[in-house]
Structure formats: structure tokens, C-alpha cells
Amino acid sequence: MLWLFLILPVISVTSRSFKVYDKPTPTAISDRLIELVTQGAFRGVTYYRLAALADTIGPRLCGNESLTQAVDWVRNVMISEGLENVHVEQVEIPHWIRGEERARLIQPRYAKLSMLGLGNSVGTGPNGIQAPVLVVRSFDELTERCAEARNKIVVFNPQCDWISEPLACYGPVVAYRSGGASHAAKCGALASLSRSAASHSIDSPHTGMMTYDPAYPKIPAASLSVEHADMLDRFQQRNQSIEIYLYMEAQTLPNVIGYNLVAEIKGSSLPNETVLVSGHLDSWDVGQGAMDDGGGAMISWTVLSLLHSLNIRAKRTIRCVLWSCEEFGGIGADQYFTAHENEVPSMSIVMESDLGVFHPYGLQFKGTNESQKIIQTISQQLRSINATQVVPNGEGTDIGPWLERGVPGASLFNDNRNYFAYHHSKGDTVNVLNSTDIDLAAAVWAVYAYAIADLDNLLPR
């Protein structure tokens, strides 16, 4: 089994541990957590775990055996280090496979196009699709030119100022990735290609999930690199004939069984009340899934490892959940919520790190004004690493159902200006992260998780 090659060195901090019955002040505990992960025995451990996962198991597509291998490895190491209540919770997840794929420019010249099929897409059939091309920059333009799209491959090339507002661009551009195929099919198109949702590109296509409107035929859907989408746009502006050959073996197989992975540090006096920290263990099948979201999963695991090493328990239980199949719409998390909905009244906060583990600034938080004041107070315990900022929008796909029921939410606020340069692409590797920033991110995550879990009361709603 692959995880046998990933056994970590034993971390021992016994001589510096606290006894549960002799617990120091919250600030002292925060200082010790920060010291342990940034200067002490856990320095570099989170990065080590992430690199071992990403290098040895690699990408972890929903429904793929590699995701199950990742769950098994993390679970075994969690058990070996002595974490509590380590277990998996079964979920039913989709099983889409990419297969072989390629796109070629036939006219006005012959060239290979950089493309990636989109998750949930159908294939082209064994003969592929060769057709002329219509390039549009918006759904409105497609509506105006709908008659021209019949029996063509529609290319969506939306424009956005990624340099100034990368996070603001993502949603509007992704709309063409997720819904472009059905809009094109409505006009009689044969396939849909969309500009990658990327803030920077070196001819690197970015994949992601798409969905079909059942009112229209399912046609193949893929992303193109920014450079090639713009090139096709320029061909059209010069009134040059464009023709593309597209071949995709993509298909959706029957659903399979997957697993959310859970571990805990039980609360000392209020064990039935919970603080949840999380990240998703699945990834796309390109790159290594290191940034999205191996890093978020690893810092959530590290929260429990640090507390266990220091022999410290908060009043409430701190639970780590590593989600399955976030990339296909939070599938595992939705089923987890259904199974645990009765915990809504006792859940103090749900935290998900899924926007990178670059240099941390603090916390993104979603909750009432009263709760925000408490979070602001806790933030001062992070002054030593200059991560005291508290900003809005503490959301995430996997914690969404809890937020809809009024549970406060949080995500890591970090310097992720380059996140969408690597997101869902072959560039999402361990190389885009560094050990020091990951340690600091783990410190932020651990301090907030412990401090909130040790409050006298649940966060107000």
C-alpha cells in the first residue's frame, strides 16, 4: 500500500507539554501553538505531509482509486499519532473519467491546441468532431448570433481584468465554463470550448466542473488556454476561416463509494459542542492537487496534531473533516451535513481552507456583529506573526449548508493573488507553496480553532 512509504518521523514534545489539569491562559496556549509549528518540533511537518501526499499519491480525482489511497494514508497516520475518533464516513460520489483527449486547429493553419476536458462532460465519440468555429465573448453575443452557431464549435472568450481583481473575475468567467455547453447546444452547436479561468497563463489550460441543462442536448465541453482562446478570437476579427478537430473520450461511469475522513480532539467539559476545521482531500486529475486543496486539508489535520502533542483540550471538541468530492460540487460535504444536521445547534463555527495556504494575513469570517467582535479579540493572539486581520466572506463550498442554517463560518485569509494562475491546472504542484507560509497558515488555523472551542459560550448567531 502506498501509505506505507509515507510514514512520518515520530514527533515528540513531551518535555514541553501542558497537563490538562494545569491549563495556562488562552494567550499562553496560542503562543505555544505558534512556537511549536513555526519554530519547534512541528516546523516543516505540514509541508512534509503535503509533499509526501502530492508526490507519492498525486492528483486525487473524485471517484478515482487515488482518492481512496489518500484517505487510507491520512487515516493510518492519524491513528498512529494517537488522534481520537479517527474514522471514515461513507458517501456516494460520481465517477467521471477524462480518457484521451486532444484538440487541433485545422484552419487557418495546422496546430495543436492546449485544452482540458471539463468534469461531467460527455465525449465526442470515436470519430471526434471537426467543425468550423464561432468565437463569442458573452452569452448575450451568442444569443445575437445564435443562428451562426449551428453545426459549429462555439468558443467562449470572456474578458476580465484578472490583474486588478482576480477573485472578482473568477465567478463571471467560470459561468462560461460551467454553463457554456448548454447555451451553445441551445443554438445547435456541436461542442463548446471556453477560455480558462486563469489569472496568468503560460499556455496552460485550466479544468473544472461543468453542468448540463436537461432541456438541451449534451455536447462535449473543454477549456482552452488563454493564449489559444485569444488567438482564435483574433482569427475571427481578421475574418479568417477557423476549423477545429476535437476528440474526447470523457465519460461518466456509475457512482462509487467514497469517504469523508474525520478525526477529533474531544472537548474537556463540553464534548458535545464542536468547532469544525476542514479542507477537501480530492482534487482535479492534473497537477498534484497541492494548492487546491491538499494544503487546506493538511493544515486542518495539523490543528489536531498540535493540540495532541501539547496534551491540551479546549472546552469543546475540535473536529477535523477532510471532505470528499468538493470539486464536483461539494458532494461529500452535502451528505455529511445531511447525516449531521442535528449538530447545527451545537456547532460553534465551521472553518474551511480552500483558497490556498500562502502567506496568511488572518481570517475571513461570516457571522453576526457580536460574533465578529469576539473573533477580532481572538485575532490579537496572532500579533507575533502579524496575522490579525479579520475580513468578511468566510465561506466555502463544503461549509455552505451550515452557513445557510446560521452557523458562523471562516476561511483562511492569505496572499492568494496568484491562486488562479495555478488553480485546476498542471501547475498546481508543491512547488507553488513554501514550508514557512504553510506553518504560519497552520498557526492561524490552530489558534482560532482552539480559542473559539475554549470560549465560555458558543459563538453568537
Query: Closest Cα to residue 100, out of 110, 115, 87, 90?
Result: 115
Q: How far apart are CA 212 and CA 142, in angstroms?
A: 17
Pair 288, 430: CB distance under 8 Å: yes
Q: How far is CA 310 from CA 269, 278, 378, in A?
A: 18, 21, 20
C-alpha cell at 242: 477557423
Query: Closest Cα to residue 442, out of 34, 148, 128, 71?
Result: 34
Query: Closest Cα to residue 424, out of 323, 328, 299?
Result: 328
The phi and psi torsions of 196 (rounded to 5 degrees) equal -60, 145
Q: What angle do CA 372, 373, 379 make, to 5 degrees?
A: 85
Q: Which of 101, 273, 326, 327 is catalytic?
A: 326
**Collapsed DSSP state (helix, strand, coil) of residue 258:** strand
Q: How far apart are CA 192 and CA 190, in angstroms?
A: 7
Q: How far is CA 287 from CA 37, 332, 367, 416, in A?
A: 27, 22, 35, 18
Pair 136, 156: CB distance under 8 Å: yes
**Collapsed DSSP state (helix, strand, coil) of residue 107:** strand
User: What pairing do the DSSP bridges indicate for beta strands 251-265 and 243-248?
Assistant: unpaired
Q: Is 243 a catalytic residue?
A: no
Q: How far apart are CA 234 and CA 240, in angstroms?
A: 9
Residues annotated catalytic, as ranges: 326
